[in-house]
A = this chain, B = another copy of it.
Amino acid sequence: MPDQHEQTPLDRPQGDPFDLSAGDPFGPHNLPYGVFSLPTPDADPAPGAPGPSPGSGPSPAPGSGSSSGAVDGRRVGVRLGDHVLDAGAVAAALGSPYVSLLARPTLNPLLAAGRTAWSDVRRALTAWVTVPAYRETVRPLLHPLSEVTLHLPFDVADYVDFYASEHHARNVGQIFRPDAEDSLTPNWKHLPIGYHGRSGTVVVSGTDIVRPRGQRKAPTDPAPVFGPSVKLDIEAEVGFVVGAPSERGTPVGLGEFREHVFGLCLLNDWSARDVQAWEYVPLGPFLGKSFATSVSAWITPLDALEGARVSPPERTHPLLPYLDDSPEASGEPGGHEPDGYDLRISVAINGQVVSEPPFATMYWTAAQQLAHMTVNGASLRTGDLYGSGTVSGPRPDQRGSLLELTWNGRDPLPLDDGPRTFLADKDEVTLTAWAPGPDGTRVGLGEVRGRVVGGDA
């Protein structure tokens, strides 16, 4: 088990955002998008005091007009080092036409604008934070991260979760079906297995997670019992955010992935294993997952991750044409560019790293997942979010869930503050990640953080 402690960005001194070291994972080669608000004048927190906690109430109702103007002062921000750029304000100050995409309370208008607009806006932003002529305009619109509140960056349309790590699927199969001939189900190598989750409970990093209650029943129990979950778990995942929609009845091909998907984020698909085990046959996970899914406050555009593209693992089974991403199948000159991403994830509990799952080992790519999700004619909407599934590598210290790390509680993890089988109340889970960027740089992904709050309170 790796034991180094991650230094969180807020621990670092906040220097001049125009003078970041080349090693800063949130330098001008990254520029992830989020939504932030400044403290209201009434609140006026003391300098250095934590900002207001992220909203945990119900999301604005669809159709209630929440997107037509400012919501609680929310605005699109772009991260630069330990600062947030008020992107809409810069666009307005410079007379940029992108003000209509950036001076908004969610990322959805930008997401909906499509690939050409995404590239154009990113080019403009890069200029604004690197060309000296813009410096005096931009400087007052950069706010220290410690002084802003970060919000859920987009309105989630549908949320789908996949199951794309072979190592994870085999571990789960061995744990739950130890007598099965094959730890994978017969369909696993033929299609990326997925299911729909609850989009209304997708929350932004920093939101407390109330321990869910529910029914559970051990095989030896005569009847189900009810109470707070005793097997609350992490699932370390990567989430993909759909920008450009598609028409119902028209599948999105493998080669169209980058036309539709805007970017990615870290995602923790909190799971109550005891609830899930009792409920999930025959229609899949429901209450074991639907209480909360946490995502980063920052969406990293795919454009920032071109240097992180890698080939997925070798396919052991022939794939149907709509999923076949082998170089010879692409028909593109020079072959299909690889659709895997080399993202190095860390999972920490109370600051102690317990696992380092390597995203590059995922069997199914996000492009294959998108092609599969739409091959039946299902349409995409702006704001659709899909999770990769738990990321687990081949080594024991690369497993992305406590279910696997403790082998369903059999082998407790010896943390500094005591052993863990599953999560205890007050545990804070943090996912961080980086990817190789241009010229030896690192591209940082926004962290996903969440603290477990007792359900009995």
Residue of B with least CB distance to A389: B283
Contacts A201-B248, A380-B58; A278 near B195 (Cβ below 8 A): no
**Is A377 in contact with B213, judged by CB distance below 8 angstroms?**
yes
A248 adjacent to B57 (CB under 8 Å) = yes
Question: In the complex the two chains form, is B377's CB within 8 Å of A62's CB?
Answer: no
Q: Is A451 an interface residue (CB 8 A)?
A: no
A437 within 8 A of B: no
Known A200-B378, A215-B190, A285-B283: A249·B210 in contact at CB below 8 Å: yes
Instruction: Determine which of B57, B111, B251 lies in contact with A247 in the assembled complex, contact meaning CB atoms within 8 Å.
Output: B57
Interface presence of A61 (CB below 8 A): yes
* Cα separation A246 to B57 with both chains bound (whole Å): 8
Q: Name which of A287-295, A407-415, A416-424 contacts chain B.
A: A287-295
**Which residues of B are found within 8 Å of A278, using beta-carbon distances?**
187
Q: Within the assembled complex, what's the spacing in Å between the Cα atoms of A275 and B375?
A: 11
Bound complex: CA A281 to CA B102 (Å) = 43
Instruction: Give the complex CA separation of A163 and B160 in angstroms.
Output: 20
Chain B residue with minimal CB distance to A110?
A: B63
Residues of B within 8 A of A217 (CB): 186-187, 190
Q: Which of A277-323 contact B (CB under 8 A)?
A: 278-288, 290-292, 318, 320-322
User: Hey, which chain B residues are within 8 Å of A56, CB to CB?
Assistant: 248-249
Partner of A108, one of B61, B223, B322: B61
**Would you list 18 pairs from A and B whose C-beta atoms are within 8 A, ordered by A residue?**
A58-B246, A61-B112, A62-B381, A62-B382, A63-B107, A63-B108, A63-B154, A158-B199, A185-B281, A187-B217, A187-B278, A193-B282, A198-B378, A200-B380, A200-B381, A226-B321, A275-B376, A287-B372
Which residues of A does B touch, CB under 8 Å?
56-59, 61-68, 104, 106-109, 111-112, 154-158, 160, 163, 185-187, 190-191, 193-201, 203, 210, 212-215, 217, 223-224, 226, 245-249, 251, 272, 275, 278-288, 290-292, 318, 320-322, 372-373, 375-384, 455
